């Protein structure tokens, strides 16, 4: 009965609601309820958010210190004026040593860092950090060197190592001589035999990979620089891998490797020996007239007006070169070297045969040949000259020993054959790189002579003569060299550069060279 009354009253109320408000009133009622609930929720959210923000602001000002915003701080730092950089140039305490070391550091940074770093940034702080790290390492190296007792090393260990090297080399030569003429490539066989003997004499030590493989040599130098940086750098800089690897590559590939290559270059050693011999010969010169003439030319240079004029012209040429260099660097454009040479009017003509026998002139001609890709021809000519002198000396010694009853014919001929084969393989064979381009018939005739006859000092004369004519007449070499700025610099170095205002006759070929570079001697 109760449920029936509830359903009855409910139905009656629904009917009266629909009759009074219409059939859509139920939808309006549901919408009103939804809006009431949503409005209450929004009011609660806004009220809570405002109160929360006020509370957090009170907490921030109460417990946390004020901090500057990151981006405005960076902008402020960037707008500040750059402070002047001060560098302490003292390294070892000796100015005569510190200045060359500073130049080495400056050139290393210029050649291996600045050329790419300035394309990224103009900030000098990075370069300063690298320079300071290098200077710190040099200072530590200098301090440790002063604490080291070098006398036992130079008087005992270094002498023993050098003596061991010579003993290994002689023993390897003996083994090659015992094998006789059975080997074709004695140069490579000598290298292999040398390291085999080194293993036998020093047991567990063998340096064949480091000495014969450029890749292993670079790896060894990197490891060596790594050890040196561990000893010399501060711990903070050494732990920085990017910094450590960067400095390591500069030291290994920019300093140590070029230094080793230069010291092991036979041409560099020969030139240094020649310079020393000439210096000793000058000190031992017994010709009083020559010594007096040299002394007077140094003590009273004003007696020779032409000499002073030539020296002034040389200085004027240096000024012109400096100005042209500055102009090229500032404008970023190359200057026509032919126009630079034309400013000096007609120049002295130095014959090619005199250039090849003068050390100063030969150095300039060698630089030009390397620029044009013809260095193989020049190096072949020079190598043959050295071979001829060596072969003549060896044969003279052989003849004197044969007169004394000593027989070493096979060994001497084997050494000459190895030297001749070395020249052939390096410049004339198919695998030579770069190869001397000469008549194939002459090369084939030379190869047949080397295989069937004993080598003589004149075995390369025909090819050397052809190479000389090629360098003399080919427009790429000597004729173009006379129009190059290197030729002008050579004349200035030889003290043969004329006054730019002086012009020769129109029908002449200019002043010629008489074969005696007295200007170079006076200089």
Cis peptide before 503 (omega within 30 of 0): no
Instruction: Give domain status of residue 447, yes or no.
Output: yes
Cβ count within 10 A of residue 368:
21
Please tell me the predicted confidence (pLDDT) of residue 325: 55
Alpha-carbon span 10 to 4, nearest angstrom: 10
Residues 293 and 391 in one domain: no
Q: Is residue 390 part of a domain?
A: yes
Residue 231 lies in a domain: no
- The pLDDT assigned to 371 comes to 87
242, part of any domain: no
**CB atoms < 10 A from the CB of 207, how many?**
14
pLDDT of 515: 38
Domain check: are 370 and 487 in the same one? Answer: yes
Residues of the domain holding 294: 270-300
Domains of the chain: total: 3
Half-sphere exposure of 85 (CA within 13 A, CB side): 12
Domain-located, residue 413:
yes
Q: Is the domain of 293 the same as that of 372?
A: no
Alpha-carbon torsion angle 130, 133, 139, 140, nearest 10 = -150
SS (H, E, C) 453-519: CCCCCCCCHHHHHHHHHHHHHCCCCHHHHCCCHHHHHHHHHCCCCCCCCCCCCCCCCCCECCCCCHH
Q: Which of 90, 112, 110 is nearest to 101 (CA)?
A: 90
Q: How many percent of the chain have pLDDT more than 70?
A: 74
Dist CA 272 CA 164 (whole Å): 25
Classified as helix, coil or strand, 348 is coil
- Looking at residue 337, what is its pLDDT? 46
So what's the pLDDT on residue 223? 92
* CB atoms inside a 10 Å sphere around CB 209: 13
Q: Are residues 479 and 355 part of one domain?
A: yes
Predicted model pTM: 0.38
| pLDDT at 517 (0 to 100) | 38
Looking at the structure, tell me whether residues 477 and 351 fall in a common domain: yes
Same domain, 284 and 359: no
Same domain? For 287 and 384 the reply is no
DSSP string, 63-79: HS-----HHHHHHHHHH
Q: Which tokens sit at 146?
A: 């002063």
pLDDT at residue 468, rounded to an integer: 92
Q: Let me know if 136 is exposed, middle or buried by CB neighbors in 10 A (0-12, 13-18, 19+).
A: middle
**C-alpha–C-alpha distance, residues 309 and 128, integer Å:** 45
Give the pLDDT confidence score for residue 344 in this predicted structure: 53
Q: Which residues of the chain have pLDDT under 70?
A: 1-4, 59-69, 78-88, 180-185, 279-346, 401, 404-411, 497-523
486 and 370 in one domain?
yes
- Do 354 and 488 lie in a common domain? yes
In CATH, what number is assigned to the domain containing residue 377?
A: 1.10.167.10
């Amino acid at each position: 009965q109760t449920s029936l009354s509830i359903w009855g009253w409910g139905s009656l109320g629904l009917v009266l609601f629909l009759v009074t408000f219409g059939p859509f009133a139920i939808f309006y009622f549901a919408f009103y309820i939804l809006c009431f609930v949503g409005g209450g929720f929004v009011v609660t959210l806004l009220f809570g958010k405002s109160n929360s923000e006020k509370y957090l602001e009170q907490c921030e000002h109460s417990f946390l210190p004020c901090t500057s915003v990151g981006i405005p701080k960076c902008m402020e730092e960037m707008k500040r004026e750059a402070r002047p950089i001060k560098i302490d140039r003292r390294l070892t305490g000796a100015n005569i040593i510190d200045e060359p070391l500073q130049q080495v550091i400056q050139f290393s940074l210029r050649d291996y860092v600045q050329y790419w770093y300035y394309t990224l940034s103009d900030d000098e702080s990075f370069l300063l950090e690298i320079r300071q790290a290098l200077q710190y390492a040099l200072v530590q190296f200098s301090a440790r060197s002063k604490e080291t007792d070098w006398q036992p090393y130079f008087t005992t260990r270094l002498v023993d190592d050098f003596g061991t090297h010579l003993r290994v080399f002689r023993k390897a030569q003996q083994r090659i001589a015992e094998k006789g003429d059975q080997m074709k490539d004695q140069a490579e066989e000598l290298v292999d035999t040398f390291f085999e003997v080194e293993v036998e004499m020093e047991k567990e030590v063998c340096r064949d990979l480091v000495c014969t493989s450029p890749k292993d040599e670079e790896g060894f130098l990197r490891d060596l620089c790594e050890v040196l940086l561990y000893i010399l750098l501060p711990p903070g800089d050494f732990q920085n891998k990017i910094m450590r690897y960067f400095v390591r590559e500069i030291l290994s590939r920019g300093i140590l490797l070029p230094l080793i290559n230069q010291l092991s270059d036979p041409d560099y050693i020969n030139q240094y020996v020649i310079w020393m011999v000439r210096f000793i010969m000058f000190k031992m010169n017994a010709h009083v007239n020559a010594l007096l003439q040299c002394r007077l030319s140094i003590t009273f240079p004003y007696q020779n007006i032409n000499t002073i004029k030539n020296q002034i012209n040389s200085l004027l040429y240096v000024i012109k070169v400096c100005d042209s260099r500055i102009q090229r660097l500032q404008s970023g454009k190359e200057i026509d070297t032919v126009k630079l040479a034309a400013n000096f009017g007609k120049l002295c003509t130095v014959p090619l045969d005199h250039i090849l026998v003068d050390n100063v002139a030969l150095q300039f001609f060698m630089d030009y040949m390397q620029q044009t890709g013809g260095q193989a021809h020049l190096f072949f000519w020079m190598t043959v000259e050295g071979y001829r002198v060596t072969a003549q000396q060896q044969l003279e010694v052989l003849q004197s020993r044969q007169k004394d009853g000593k027989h070493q014919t096979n060994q001497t001929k084997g050494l000459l054959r190895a030297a001749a084969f070395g020249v052939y393989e390096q410049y004339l064979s198919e695998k030579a790189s770069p190869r001397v381009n000469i008549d194939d018939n002459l090369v084939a005739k030379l190869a047949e002579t080397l295989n069937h006859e004993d080598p003589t000092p004149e075995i390369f004369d025909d090819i050397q003569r052809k190479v000389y004519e090629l360098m003399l007449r080919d427009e790429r070499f000597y004729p173009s060299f006379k129009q190059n700025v290197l030729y002008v610099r050579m004349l200035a170095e030889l003290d043969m550069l004329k006054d730019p205002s002086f012009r020769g006759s129109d029908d002449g070929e200019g002043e010629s060279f008489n074969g005696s570079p007295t200007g170079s001697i006076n200089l």
